[in-house]
Chains A and B, each alone.
Chain A
Amino acid sequence: MAFDPIRAEIRFGYGLSPEISPPSSVAEMLSGVSGPDKMADAFPVESMQFFSGKLTQQVELARALRKAKTEEESFEITETSQELRREFYVYRREFMAQSILRRTHSATAFRERLAAFWSDHFTVVGKNSFYKALVDTYSEDAIRPNLSGRFEDMLIAVVTHPMMLLYLDQRQSVGPNSLLAEKRGKGRGLNENLAREVLELHTLGVDGPYSQTDVRELAELFTGLDYRQDKGFHFARGKTEPGPETVLGKVYGQEKGRLKDILAVLRDLARHPVTARHISSKLVMHFVSDDPDPSLVDRLTAAYLDTDGDLSALYATLLEAPQAWDAPLANMKPPQDFIISSLRALAVPAETFAGLNARDMRRLVTAPLQKMGQPWNEPLGPDGWPEEDGVWISPQGMAARLQWAMFAPGALLGVEPDPREFVVNALGADAPADITFAAGAAENRREGVAVVLMSPTFQRR
């Protein structure tokens, strides 16, 4: 088998919608990734830079609170700080809604899937209620503009983004022989977290050809990558460890720490053959099967190496390979994608979803996602959400999906669609006979719709 419009939408997108026609060719899918970003225009999310003033204010408030002399003063500062926090709660909810709306309404859904895939490959988690709101701004700044460029450009954008520097503690890392360490030695030193994850998760992979010494040297090379609330990314020369450093046998840098040496090592890591295989294999696992066909991974790896990690070439190779279309639809939709593809199939109007108040958003989206095991933007670690299907097939996960499938469609639409039509909207004209039968045999609309959403054909892709 080769390209098939229905499969394109299910396997490589967010599922079928009665209101969106599936792509008609591989070329259309690919131009959808590199063309104008219509969904970003329709459902905007701010850049992190937008928040520099508010984040600076937050730091100033915290400082003022520590210095406050009277109770009234402390009380007032705490109140202002709470107000600011509430503002960030609202942004967090709005950005979540915008991200879901993009995926629900996109006619180029492969692009949205890729944005989600890379945001997860380069996972960041906010460490307090302010930065939790800004995870989607990170995707907007570092991931989305680099979807169809070279892998190395995305890697550099990610490693120099404040959210990553905060999440993986790079900001605290100080070269042991740096100017700063000499001035105020106590309690400061190297932090290897980002260096380790760049090698283990972002580039070579956990079985890659690196040693603890490489991690250490890369961490020394990374010193200086820093962030300031008012300026955003910032290269702090005072923190840099005097070089040079040797990473994977190659020497980088000189006496003074320089940003260009860090960019050079990132480019080399991005072009490494082991990185090529790691990225190719992960892409195939994500889109095709947990148990990837080695010949397909080989093809992608070769395309990656031929083009120095051109992601467009990688996507084209994937979509042009018959194996990518032949493999049975076995991957389990993670909870977010289960909900989003349900919204697509139900054709929940954008205005309806965008108009949900805080309470409804909690009971229809955030709380259910948590119960299903995928709280919004909060994976447990820097390795992101698991790819393995088995993780999502738990009693708790199934019960939470069923609870949502029984309740949410009616709550969102007022009246659920006729299950006999819905089964075609959700699964296509070739819906399996047993599901079509079950949709029609349900004793009411609500259960008919729920049975379709819970069917293996809908839950897998």
Chain B
Amino acid sequence: MAQNLTRRSFLARTAAIGCSAAASPLLTPVSFAAGPWDNRLVVIILRGGLDGLDAVRPWGDPEFALARPRLAKDHNGAHDLNGFYGMNPALAPLMPLWQAGELGFAHAVSQPYREKRSHFDGQDLLEAGIPTLKDGIKDGWLNRMLQDIPGVRADTAFSIGSENMLLAQGAAPVSSWSPDVDVTMSAQGVRLLELTMKTDPALAEAMAQALVLADSDGDGVVPDGSDDDMMAMMQSNMKPQNARKSHLRIADFAAAQLVADTRIVSFSLGGWDTHANQTARIKGPLSNLADVLLRLKEGCGQSVWARTTVVAMTEFGRTVRENGTKGTDHGTGGVMIMAGGALRGGQVFGQWPGLAEADLYDRRDLMPLDDVRRYAAWAIRSSFGLDRARLENHIFPGIELGDDPNMLL
């Protein structure tokens, strides 16, 4: 791709691409093999500590309603999953996915992180995929899974969004892009940029790719209208309220990459730290998550979605009992959310530990009965066929893969 891009001028490239350029031939050169794998994996980090007990509610456990008199008062049988669990109403749009076997969960899971319950340490560990911070952090597990794989290219994996994600950092090449970066410039401006960068191939190349990507994820770089239109576009580019829809832009961009040569995408969704008024505050983040999954499916189209597995994981769950401010505090066990056409969905994986006080972790948190990294590892193994030993020693050091949970079709 690098070669193809530098040979043509910035302008020819950007002008050639229309608004719906997701599958533009410039982004998907046919002269290379399309990466090492055919299946797709989407990793979503849910930052802030998703309350698994509120997202996927264990109605079948009589202790649940007792522990949460206010958070669990709307039980009316709606959104029932399997007679024991029911979804939070905000996830209702995902019911068709559940029914089609394209949505699943693993409950009472967590990473090995315990005791301190700090967001920052918890997220670092989750993304590093290691059991303890004592020996420092070198890279993220998503990057490690790409290391030493023949045929991995810069666009095999994409880290999407304006955050630097530890998950994707490391020795293997991973592209990053934030669809919130919108560039607007006149044709003349683009031509002058090209002129001044001619002497600096590295900058020119990065700029050229930037213009192609910016053109492909929404408004074109070079507007058709007057200078006033351009000013308006630029101002809207910088408007903070654009951030409100940024999860959808991320999903659309992710789907476009998965349809092309990319096999792995990762991004994060926030807003889960619901210490107070949880019923109201968790609604937005859950609907965002539902929207993202639906947009991914729509954007991927049937054939790509059929090969796609999505895993969404968080740094820790939250306390079983609601607190004094109608919320929950940092806990331990929680839920992992899975989706995709490749998923053997329609089921909740894992054992249920119970919610009686003696069954809780530290007498306060949902007892984790399984390592969330084990499910991520099986998603990788079933999608890409990586070695058991490599997963257990290198990608997620210290896990035991155990028996195949048969998550994927």
Contact surface of A with B, Cβ cutoff 8 Å:
65, 68, 70-71, 73-75, 78, 125, 127-128, 169, 187, 191-193, 196-197, 200, 359, 362-363, 367, 370-371, 373, 375, 380-382, 389-390, 393-400, 402-403, 406-407, 411, 434-435, 437-438, 441-444, 447, 450-451, 454-456, 459-460
Contacts and interface: CB of A to CB of B under 8 A. Distances in A.
Interface in B141-184: 162-164, 166, 169, 175-178, 180-184
A187 B196 CA distance: 60
B276 interface: yes
Given A74-B323, A393-B203, A456-B196, 15 more contacts: A193-B134, A200-B136, A363-B240, A390-B202, A393-B206, A394-B206, A396-B210, A399-B181, A407-B235, A437-B195, A438-B195, A443-B189, A447-B185, A454-B193, A455-B196
Contact of A459 (B137, B192, B203): B203
Nearest to B192: A438
A406 B172 CA distance: 33
A84 to B, nearest CB: 15
B198 A447 contact: no
Interface string B201-226: 01100110111011000000000000
A394 B176 contact: yes
B161 to A, nearest CB: 10
Contacts of A393: 202-203, 206
A331 to B, nearest CB: 12
Nearest to A404: B238
Contacts of B4: none
B188 interface: yes
Contacts of A169: 133
Contacts of B213: 395-396, 399
Contacts of B214: 399
Range, interface on chain B:
35 or more
B95 to A, nearest CB: 34
20 contacts: A71-B324, A127-B121, A128-B120, A187-B115, A192-B134, A197-B136, A371-B178, A375-B164, A380-B169, A382-B136, A393-B206, A395-B207, A398-B210, A403-B183, A407-B234, A437-B195, A438-B193, A438-B196, A441-B192, A450-B189
Contacts of B121: 127
A277 B315 CA distance: 40
B118 interface: yes
Closest 8 CB pairs of A and B: A74-B324, A456-B200, A399-B210, A395-B210, A447-B189, A395-B209, A438-B192, A398-B210
Contacts of A447: 185-186, 188-189, 192
A442 B209 CA distance: 22
| Overall SS of chain A's interface | helix
Interface string B221-259: 000000100000011011110000000000000000000
B336 to A, nearest CB: 24
A424 B115 CA distance: 58
A127 B200 contact: no
A407 B183 CA distance: 10
B183 A399 contact: yes
B268 to A, nearest CB: 13
A408 B234 CA distance: 11
Given A396-B176, A402-B210, A447-B188, A434 B181 contact: no
Taking each of B118, B181, B227, B323, which has the highest tally of chain A beta carbons within 10 Å of its own beta carbon? Answer: B181
B240 A370 contact: no
Contacts of A396: 176-178, 181, 210, 213
Nearest to B114: A187
B199 interface: yes
A6 B235 CA distance: 35
A402 B183 contact: yes
